[in-house]
Structures are given as structure tokens and as C-alpha cells.
């Protein structure tokens, strides 16, 4: 099964700070399940550079700590992520937890004080609306167990 995966979790240096969020346990679980990761970085697809200023969601908007509105870039990246998921036949996504783009279930509150609130990132919400099952690396092996049996290899 092709699974959309945040590029930073696969070791790509596309994190806002220029680093990565490599997750060896996720890579091992994908390989053990016979799944193919399809890398995605909605922020890059939206035209944002790496490194870039940190951003957080404030309601429907995404803003940087300096107050710049980057909502349009996040929405563009989310739309491209949905297109990529459809083109690759992905039925699920494993995304970076807490991100204003990829967070699923909880995200930072927009105050830049490291407070989490219930919610989804822009791309996570768009992928969910497109019918994908969306998880984060923090879900551990739960995402693998939740995949439909007829689609798992």
C-alpha cells in the first residue's frame, strides 16, 4: 500500500528549522508491512523556503511568530498534497505531529508558547476531507493496525 508520509519523518531536511524529524521506527514499520512511503512536504509544495520562520494556526489562518500571514502557502501545499495522494493511490497518511500543516488531532495554539489545542493542520484536514485515514508518528504502530486488511500487503 502506498502511504503518504511527511518528508521530514523520512529524514529529509525540510523542517522549518532546516533539520529533519527522522523516525527510524516508522521507517521500520513501513518496511515490515511492505508499504511504500510517498514523501510529502506541504510547506515546500506551498512555496515556503527551508529554513523558514516558525508558524502556527490561529483559527483558519496560519501566521509566523512575526505576524506574517502564510495561509495561502499552507493551503496551496495542502491542495498539492491531496493531488499527490490521489495520483499515488494513497489511502492513508502519516504526518508530523503538532505541525500547522501536518498535525492531526492537536496543534499548537497560535501563541508560540508551545501550548497544544485540539485541531488539525491545514494539510491534515484537507487529506482527511479527501477520504484518507490520517495519523501522526506519535500514533506508533496504531496506524498500521488500523489499515484496512484488504489493502495491507
Of 149 and 67, the structure prediction assigns the larger pLDDT to 67
pLDDT at 139: 87
Mention every residue, 6+ apart, whose C-beta is less than 8 A from residue 53: 16, 64, 65, 66, 68
pLDDT at 147: 64
Residue for grid cell 494539510: 123
**119-141 pLDDT per residue, tens:** 999 999 999 999 999 999 998 76
Global confidence as pTM: 0.92
Mention every residue, 6+ apart, whose C-beta is less than 8 A from residue 32: none
Amino acid at each position: 500500500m502506498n502511504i503518504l508520509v511527511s518528508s521530514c519523518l523520512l529524514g529529509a531536511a525540510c523542517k522549518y528549522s532546516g533539520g529533519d524529524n527522522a523516525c527510524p521506527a516508522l521507517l521500520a514499520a513501513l518496511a515490515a508491512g511492505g508499504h511504500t512511503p510517498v514523501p510529502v512536504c506541504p510547506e515546500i509544495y506551498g512555496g515556503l523556503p527551508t529554513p523558514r520562520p516558525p508558524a502556527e494556526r490561529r483559527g483558519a489562518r496560519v501566521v509566523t511568530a512575526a505576524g506574517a500571514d502564510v495561509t495561502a502557502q499552507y493551503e496551496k501545499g495542502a491542495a498539492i498534497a491531496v493531488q499527490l495522494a490521489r495520483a499515488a493511490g494513497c489511502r492513508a497518511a502519516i504526518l508530523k505531529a503538532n505541525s500547522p500543516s501536518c498535525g492531526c488531532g492537536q496543534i499548537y495554539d497560535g501563541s508560540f508558547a508551545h501550548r497544544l489545542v485540539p485541531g488539525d493542520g491545514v494539510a491534515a484536514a484537507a487529506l482527511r476531507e479527501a477520504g484518507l485515514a490520517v495519523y501522526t508518528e506519535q500514533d506508533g504502530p496504531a496506524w498500521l493496525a488500523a489499515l484496512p486488511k484488504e489493502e495491507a500487503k
